[in-house]
Amino acid sequence: MPAQSLSNPAADPRKNQLLAALPRAEWQRWQPQLEAVELPLGQVLYESGSTLGHVYFPTTAIVSLLYVMQNGESAEIAVVGREGIVGVALFMGGESTPSRAVVQSAGHGFRLKAQAVKQEFEASPAVMHLLLRYTQALITQMAQTAVCNRHHSLDQQLCRWLLLSLDRLSGSELQMTQKLIANMLGVRREGVTEAALKLQKAGLIQYSRGRILALDRPGLEQRSCECYAVVKKEYDRLLPTTAL
Amino acid sequence: MNDHTVRDDATSPPNQLLAALQADEWQRWAPYLEWVSLSAGQVLCESGDTPAFVYFPTSAVVSLMSSTRDGGSAELAVVGHDGMIGIAVFMGGNAMPSAAVVQATGVALRLSASTLKSLLQRSVPTLQVLLRYAQALMAQVAQTALCNRYHSIDQQLSRRLLLGFDRSADDALSMTHEDAARLLGVRREGITAAAQRLQQGGVIRYWRGRIRVLDRARLEQRACECYASVANEQSRLLAC
């Protein structure tokens, strides 16, 4: 698809797989309401407990859902990229959530006003079905994070996390500091440095100031705990697949 | 609603989701609900299976469990009279990659999965109640992920006991050290030491596999913030 690959991902909402899966009538209603947004690294889309004004559909950006403790420490409970939507509380109910949504990898996305997504969710069975299946997949990702945090080594978790991120990017390079990874995984930075060095020595990644290049993806999959595959399988089962 | 035996069964506390149904909805549901006894250890649904029934516990308590390939386990969430088992039936995809295992013997009302689907097709308010519950359950799972990362076994055991007591009709739980170790995904020795500390502090009394709470306020102090976060989020979402 030469024409497609030349197009600017920032301008094409259908790079988000949920938007791409909307039936024609729904897509025609949504299209004029979608607003293109730039999502720079570190931007907070919503804070824990705040009322959500929009839902976000990342196209090239990746967003982390973090749980934050009273002392400020946090841990990532799920990542959302072009396969998903940020702000499920708007259609699930409750208007706010205890999680914080932060851009973890800079890029673009589209947003839709809270009122619009609520109306569409109630008016269109196809939209409801699509968004609930996505939420179910998201719950699986959170559940797997809970088990992973209990049972797996930092090396395994780092591989899982890199793979989840790589799946949501078009290339094999992540713009990422070790401090950021440590915050996401809820571990000390020294631990991440050590784990990343091991992966580099094994020839799986190349790490240099603020960027990680994946060199051997099957190797990363082998080193990862099963959690990556469990989540991927469930996403594949529940979500629409679109030719990218 | 007062004229219905299923809802007003005097021997059991009501299920909060069923209690939240509107009167006309309740009339539609009642003929399909069936009382079942659930015994500790019973598996209601294996990981990856398509559930034939959904369950609304009244006195029973059910754990959503996840396990790793090498046999490690961890409880993701606790479901009692506050909730239901089988959200995948209305969320979509039918199966969930977690298992539902009865933790405390008791009773529940069950409904066939296909009946639930057809009942929900005609009622937006009821679906909204269930979606808010699914949202609360998601918050519990996420909080467990955070808790597994940061908190001590003492804090986690206290949190788990409080979740259990909240869903129990009396102030004692049947839970051996092995049970608690399996739920928290830690070694039994760690649970034994943590339980001893709670007992020495006069917070709980552990006797022949039963735990009685002696000082609930102090148990809450010993728990991490995760207990209050989950309880607050659930009451916010389900106070309708």
Domains of chain B (ranges, CATH numbers): 16-122 (2.60.120.10), 152-223 (1.10.10.10)
Residue of chain B nearest A227, judged by CA positions: B68
pTM: 0.92
The pLDDT mean for chain A works out to 91
Say whether A147 and B134 touch across the interface (CB within 8 A).
no
Residues paired with residue B100 on neighbouring β-strands, in sequence order: B45, B64
- The per-residue pLDDT for range A107-133, each reduced to its tens digit, is 999 999 999 999 999 999 999 999 999
Mutate which of A64, A70, A147, A187 to test chain B, going by most B C-beta atoms within 10 A? A147
Nearest CB to B128 within list A93, A225, A226: A93
Cβ contacts (< 8 Å) between A97 and chain B: which residues? 135, 139
- The per-residue pLDDT for range A168-214, each reduced to its tens digit, is 988 888 888 888 899 889 899 999 999 999 999 999 999 888 889 99
End-to-end CA distance of chain A: 9
**Comparing B103 with A4, which gets the higher pLDDT?**
B103
Mutate which of A52, A91, A134, A149 to test chain B, going by most B C-beta atoms within 10 A? A149
| Structural element, H or E, at residue A101 | strand A99-105
User: Hey, is the C-beta of A197 within 8 angstroms of any chain B C-beta?
Assistant: no
Domains within chain A, CATH numbers bracketed: 2-149+233-238 (2.60.120.10), 153-224 (1.10.10.10)
Residues paired with residue A100 on neighbouring β-strands, in sequence order: A66
Give the pLDDT confidence score for residue A242 in this predicted structure: 52
Please give chain B's pLDDT, 240 residues, in tens. Answer: 444 445 544 444 489 999 999 999 999 999 999 999 999 999 999 998 999 999 999 999 999 999 888 888 999 999 999 999 999 999 998 887 799 999 999 999 999 999 999 999 888 899 999 999 999 999 999 999 999 999 999 999 999 999 999 998 888 899 999 999 999 999 999 999 999 999 999 999 998 889 999 999 999 999 999 999 999 999 999 885
Say whether B150 and A92 touch across the interface (CB within 8 A).
no
The whole-angstrom separation of Cα A198 and Cα A119 is 50
Which of B225, B3, B234 shows the shortest CA–CA distance to B136? B234
Say whether A139 and B149 touch across the interface (CB within 8 A).
no
Distance (Å) from the alpha carbon of A187 to chain B's nearest alpha carbon: 8
Cβ contacts (< 8 Å) between A86 and chain B: which residues? none
Say whether B142 and A142 touch across the interface (CB within 8 A).
yes
Which three-class secondary structure state does DSSP give residue B127? helix
Alpha-carbon torsion (B234, B236, B239, B240), positive or negative: negative
Which of A23, A20, A242, A18 shows the shortest CA–CA distance to A126? A23
Percent above pLDDT 70 for chain A: 95
- The per-residue pLDDT for range B119-137, each reduced to its tens digit, is 998 888 999 999 999 999 9
Q: Count other C-beta atoms under 10 Å from residue A192's C-beta.
A: 23
- ipTM of this complex: 0.90
